[in-house]
A and B are shown apart, each in its own frame.
Chain A
Amino acid sequence: MSNAIIPLLLDSLASAALIFFAAVGLTLVFSVLRVLNVAHGSLYSIGGYAAASACLFIASQQLNPYLSFAALLLSAVFVAAIFGPLIERSLVRWTYGKSEAVQILITFGLFLILEDLQRLIFGVQSLYEDAPMRLLGTSSIGGVVYLNYQILLVGMAVLVVVGLRLLINHTRLGRLFTAVVTDREMAQSIGIDTNRIFILAFSLGVFLAALGGALSTPTSGIAPGLGADTMVLAFAVAAIGGLGQIEGAAVASLIVGLARVLAIYLAPSLDAVAPYAAMLVVLLIRPYGLFGSVTARRI
């Protein structure tokens, strides 16, 4: 039994790590900007397309295949540097202080635009280049064979949790983020350039989403429709953890990953429904997520 379930567990942990990248970006942007970016999933798939194109280019030019690891990371940086400031300045900034309905509608419009743009540029067939995964090979522990790339994914997710925590608690930028999250007006009045903080936080969120998308291409390839699926899963994870909670998102992606293992093990046809079932159960018991706090109701 353990021979069957341990690779499955690693497989689920690896996909949980990918969803975690998207979810933590979503949650970070939400806590600093107080805007839930419905187009966040599209940025994940754009990161994926950028990485897949870069890796395919490296393969076609017969460059050193180890360059594709750099390509994965750089394409995420590239996507964040272009789309982060562009979207924040042109659309998201316009919605600050407006009702949540307006924020949802604007970012939803952006979602429709980005999804169609990807379809027009990259077509409807899937892109797939697994060089990074093949290069890392497999390792065998106790007679069970693992993909090293999946172990790398889980390691990267842990690194992101620790990195974000260090960034927020121990750097100047992190302190500025915290100040803006705690009291935006007060932060502004003591001279913090909140506009700059918003651009930085939004771009960091885009980077994390694009990184998840980029890292996902070697294992599963990328095809149209990924953006919408990711958006909903990322929201499910962020909601289970409590919107705005970084460690919450990490724990929640573990829960979703385990729910998926259980579903595959017990009822394979239901594996797509498992994350939502987990979300429904958690939200029924704790409407603001596992680590979320109840916000005061406005009178």
Chain B
Amino acid sequence: MRIILTAAAVLTLAVLPAAAPWLQFVLTLAIAKGFAALGVAVLLRAGLISIGHAMFFAASAYGVAFLAHAGINDLGLLLLLSVLVAALTGAIAGAFLVRYRAIFFAMLNLAVSMVFYALCAKLYGVTGGTDGMPVPIPAVFGIIFAEPVFKSVLFYLSLALMVLVGLAVQRYLDSPLGHALSAVHTNEIRLEYLGIPVWAVLLIAYVISAALAGLGGAISAFAIGRVVPDFAFWTASGHLVLIAVLGGIGGVPGAFIGALFLELLHSAAVTVTDAWNLIVGMTLIIVIMFMPQGIYGLFARKEASSP
């Protein structure tokens, strides 16, 4: 049943741009943010809230821009290398950050990401300051497409990656290593008594979540064609947290459903108002107060109540 539902959802996403071409860009961005939010959601399983995950999103996006300027011009290679950049950044930051819990974890993530943002915005000679850096259109397996064709290729590639990476993350969450995350949340000391190193469990989760955020960042960099420091701004991290919370207990599909919901809401809201963060903040509070299981929880409850 679950497989049929997922397949139907992915197929719908795949044909939607044919019906409404403007949706393609929105959907590509939604999938990219879904990856990053999935990263936040992985850490959320351990009860850790990162309000600085946009840093890894931006680290990988800047990675794409720098590598492209260094002469690498292949989509696959750029994606792979920039995700590695994000994972490496995650390993360095995580080695220090996973020692902390709750408030300290959240605030230190915020602090590190704000330093990163400040550096991106201030080092004009290296990063182009607030002007950002352009991202050229790369070759796909040696073929150079025109821009509209490349954007379609990118969309279907992200859709495929969503399924593949989604399955991989699901496997990880179902593995003992993944279950250890929620065990950290319930009782960390019990885990230590069982001989499981909490530090290692969390560091692995942190690197995975950074890599996921990086994958999203790289896709966004190609979709937008420019990398700016705002990618790393704390409001961007806030959106990722909201998506992860919206996804709620939905696990892997939850993050992508949350991202789709928020991106579509965003493209509807920008035509009416520019107070987008206000809406995000209010939605965050309302979701936490009244539907703690996320929007996925609404569906799940309906499913459970119908015999």
Contacts and interface: CB of A to CB of B under 8 A. Distances in A.
Nearest to A111: B281
A102 B292 CA distance: 10
Contacts of A283: 104, 108
A279 interface: yes
A28 to B, nearest CB: 15
Contacts of A174: none
Contacts of B284: 105-106, 108-109, 112
B102 A100 contact: yes
Nearest to B239: A112
B122 interface: yes
B143 to A, nearest CB: 43
A113 B99 contact: no
A279 B246 CA distance: 33
Nearest to B277: A116
A157 to B, nearest CB: 23
Interface string B41-63: 00010010101000000000000
A104 B103 contact: yes
B285 interface: yes
A112 B278 contact: yes
Contacts of B47: 99, 101
Q: Summarize B's interface: helix, strand, loop or mixed.
A: helix
Nearest to A30: B103
B114 A232 contact: yes
Contact of A269 (B102, B108, B122): B122
B100 A112 contact: no
Given A115-B277, A232-B111, A287 B99 contact: yes
B232 to A, nearest CB: 12
Contact of A94 (B51, B275, B277, B289): B289
B173 to A, nearest CB: 18
Contacts of B278: 112-113, 116-117, 120
A239 B234 CA distance: 20
Interface string B94-128: 00100110111011101110110011001100000
B277 A91 contact: no
A76 interface: no
A287 B238 CA distance: 26
B104 A284 contact: no
Interface in A250-299: 269, 272-273, 276, 279-280, 283-284, 287, 297-299
A99 B234 CA distance: 23
Nearest to B121: A272
A144 to B, nearest CB: 30
A104 B241 CA distance: 11
B189 interface: yes
Contact of B49 (A105, A229, A235, A287): A105
A113 B281 contact: yes
Interface string A59-77: 0000000000000000000
B102 A112 contact: no
A36 interface: yes
B51 A273 contact: no
Given A99-B47, A105-B284, A36 B103 contact: yes
A52 interface: no
A46 interface: no
Contact of A91 (B99, B241, B285): B285
A106 B96 contact: no
A32 interface: no
Nearest to A39: B281
A116 B107 contact: no
User: Which of A108, A269, A272 has the most CB atoms of chain B within a 10 A radius of its CB?
Assistant: A108
A116 B288 CA distance: 20
Interface in A96-142: 99-102, 104-106, 108-113, 115-117, 120
B118 A232 contact: no
A104 B106 contact: yes
A235 B100 CA distance: 14
12 contacts: A100-B103, A104-B49, A106-B285, A109-B280, A109-B281, A109-B284, A112-B284, A113-B285, A243-B103, A276-B111, A287-B99, A299-B190
Interface of A: 36, 38, 91, 94, 99-102, 104-106, 108-113, 115-117, 120, 228-229, 231-232, 235-236, 239, 243, 269, 272-273, 276, 279-280, 283-284, 287, 297-299
